[in-house]
Amino acid sequence: MFIVTAEQMRAVDEHTIHKLGIPAASLMENAGRAIAEEVIALCREEGMGSKAADRKGHREPGKAERAHTGPGDLQGYGGDIIADPALVMARPGDQHWYMLIGKGNNGGDGLVAARHLLEAGLGVTLVYAEGPESLRGEAAVQRDAAAQLGIPALVHGREAVDFSRCTGIVDALLGTGSRGAPLGAYAALIEAVNDSGKPVVSADVPSGLNADTGEVYEPCIQARVTVCLALLKRGLVQYPGASAAGRIVVRSIGIPARLVPEHGPSVRLLTEEVLRSSLHVDTDRLRAPDGHKGTYGHVLLAAGSLPMSGAGLLSAKAALRAGCGLATWALPAALLPHIIGSVPELMLAVAAEGDSGEWNAASADAVLRLAESRDVIATGPGLGRFEGDTGWLRRLWQQTDRPLVIDADALNMLADAGRAGPRDWGQRSAATILTPHPGEMGRLLGMPTPEVQRDRIGHAARYAREQGVTLVLKGARTVIATPSGEAYINTTGHAGMATGGAGDVLTGIIAGLLAQGLSAEQAAAFGVYLHGQAAEQAALRRGDPASLLAGDIIDAL
């Protein structure tokens, strides 16, 4: 599923109307109709104004919905005749919905929805944010149709609006044409709606949400359901916007998704389907029946220091669990006695001499030598900082042609590389994957963490393109961005993954997948997906996400 910006949506919309010749009125009709259907679906689900038998959330028309159009039993003539199933409910007359109408096309969608709800037998009242005379184009056509049908209308500021009288509210105030925080009547209506506690169905996006970044302005509608029209908007999959949206239902309205790549870099929701079809990840083919441990690649992990040896251990175990044939952990000499025997499947190699348990700049020689007979290098977890560390990382970057996964303190070394970023170190010929959390991303970009979080997709995609790397921006809805400017938004995982070591596990998984021959894009996306899915399994086993340990994720892989 594609995820678009408001500008991309507009471009695809224009393409559909002006090049394909689909009338704008058809798109608005489909949009409004979809919103009305989701209002009815919500009413059914919540048993709002309907019979107990109708409270199960199913969309099958109930008994009362079957129209027997003549005397006697029609079944004798070949079966029931059922009125439009999507719009039928048991006792529609108990429902009265207020339809908030803004002056743009979002308002036009709301007006179409009002017509369909009226047709279904619900009570509807229009609440215009501004005088109806301010509507233009298609929205004005819908305003006039609604007026001719006699749908009652109030105008904010002219008549009192009492939300306690309605059963629910459709928010068609602001859509993708919204700019900045809602102003004037829009802000007043949003505040009153949120205070009312009534269920809200938002048209396209909750009004007050930045559709591109997920930033919520003051005020912003808190929706029960958001009926996203045509294509998923970026702001709906990023927090805090994702929380304001409630349940998101993406409804097609006649705009072909295949037009998206013509209008800018594509961002997709990372699902199993996308992994298989767009990313061509075929797990059945990862293991050859006649393979041996050399077939599945050898990971070299340069990680861990005395106070943080567990990080290295987690990464190494995760790489093995992800399926690489062999893993070698390069570590400071002083760690060796503590580690020996803890993971018997793992090979250990001393890279940094001395009894401090820390890394040093000279250890780059040892790491580079070890890398010659390994397929992938991963570094960062538990590494710590040391004198000359940025130069150390620079040597790895420049002097090995092996794929490189860079995490944790190695990212902080990268951040010290200079304003221009590692692109100054030259383009690597092999895959380079960076896995920052928002704080590390902020250091890479030289900006505060909240600024990164304000537009995760935008920052990740820009950095990956400018620096020529594959970037994994961790956090709720992890973003995977590629050097070509494409991105994937992960759908797996939960808040229980906010626990020490979870990132080290991800580094190991990605390295383990790279070793098996996956491309940077495949390994990063599949690794993130698997990491989240394993954490879901582990939380199910434990019964509570909060008690998840990073090691549980490895066990569940």
Known binding-site positions for (6S)-NADPHX: 105-109, 175-181, 186, 204, 311, 382, 437, 504
> In this structure, what token pair is assigned to residue 9?
């949506």
Kindly tell me which of 232 and 502 has the beta carbon lying closer to K ion.
Answer: 232
Three-state secondary structure call for residue 347: strand
Kindly tell me which of 105 and 167 has the beta carbon lying closer to ligand LP7C6HRI.
Answer: 105
Angle made by CA atoms 239, 101, 84, in degrees to the nearest 5: 90
Kindly tell me which of 45 and 138 has the beta carbon lying closer to ligand LP7C6HRI.
Answer: 138
Binding-site residue numbers are 105-109, 171, 175-181, 186, 204, 207, 311, 382, 437, 474-478, 503-504
Using CB under 6 A, which of the segments 90-98, 168-176, 288-296, 299-307 binds ligand LP7C6HRI? 168-176
User: What's the closest the beta carbon of residue 100 comes to ligand LP7C6HRI, in angstroms?
Assistant: 12
Under the binding rule (CB under 6 A), the answer on residue 106 touching ligand LP7C6HRI is yes
Binds ligand LP7C6HRI (CB under 6 A): choice among 22, 27, 48, 122:
27
Under the binding rule (CB under 5 A), the answer on residue 207 touching K ion is yes
Using CB under 5 A, which of the segments 163-171, 372-380, 419-427, 465-473 binds K ion? 163-171
> Can you tell me the distance from the alpha carbon of 478 to that of 474, in angstroms, rounded to the nearest whole number?
5
Burial of 70 (0-12, 13-18, 19+ CB in 10 A): exposed
Closest CA to 173 of 194, 148, 152, 144: 194
Considering only residues 178 through 197, tell me which ones interact with ligand LP7C6HRI, judged by CB under 6 A.
178-183, 186
Under the binding rule (CB under 6 A), the answer on residue 9 touching ligand LP7C6HRI is yes
Q: How many CB atoms lie within 10 A of CB 195?
A: 10
- Tell me the DSSP string of 448-485: -HHHHHHTHHHHHHHHHHHHT-EEEE-SSS-EEE-TTS
Q: How many CB atoms lie within 10 A of CB 427?
A: 11
Calculate the dihedral angle through the C-alpha atoms of 26, 32, 37, 42, rounding to the nearest 10 degrees.
160
Binds ligand LP7C6HRI (CB under 6 A): choice among 124, 230, 406, 461:
230
Non-local CB neighbours of 231 within 8 Å, separated by 6+ positions: 1, 2, 3, 4, 8, 9, 12, 250, 255, 257, 260
Under the binding rule (CB under 5 A), the answer on residue 202 touching K ion is yes
Which residue's entry shows tokens 């979002």?
106
Number of residues that bind ligand LP7C6HRI (CB under 6 A): 29
Under the binding rule (CB under 6 A), the answer on residue 146 touching ligand LP7C6HRI is no
Kindly tell me which of 208 and 357 has the beta carbon lying closer to ligand LP7C6HRI.
Answer: 208
User: What's the closest the beta carbon of residue 444 comes to ligand LP7C6HRI, in angstroms?
Assistant: 32
Under the binding rule (CB under 5 A), the answer on residue 210 touching K ion is no
User: What's the closest the beta carbon of residue 124 comes to ligand LP7C6HRI, in angstroms?
Assistant: 18
Rg, Å, the chain Cα set: 28
> In this structure, what token pair is assigned to residue 415?
């951040």
Q: SS in 3 state form for 20-67?
A: CCCCHHHHHHHHHHHHHHHHHHHHHHHCCCCCHHHCCCCCCCCHHHEE
Using CB under 6 A, which of the segments 102-110, 269-277, 301-309, 334-342 binds ligand LP7C6HRI? 102-110
Under the binding rule (CB under 5 A), the answer on residue 203 touching K ion is yes
Closest CA to 202 of 173, 181, 179: 173
Considering only residues 370 through 429, tell me which ones interact with ligand LP7C6HRI, judged by CB under 6 A.
none
Binding-site residue numbers for K(+) are 106, 171, 207
214 binds, among K ion, ligand LP7C6HRI, none (CB under 5 to 8 A by kind): none
Quick one: CA dihedral 487, 491, 496, 501, positive or negative? negative
Length of the chain: 557
Burial of 526 (0-12, 13-18, 19+ CB in 10 A): buried
- Spatial contact of 303 and 315, defined as CB atoms under 8 Å apart: yes
Under the binding rule (CB under 6 A), the answer on residue 176 touching ligand LP7C6HRI is yes
Binds ligand LP7C6HRI (CB under 6 A): choice among 2, 33, 48, 103:
103
Interface residues with ligand LP7C6HRI (CB under 6 A) are 9, 13, 27-28, 31, 102-109, 174-183, 186, 203-204, 229-230, 255
Interface residues with K ion (CB under 5 A) are 171, 202-203, 207
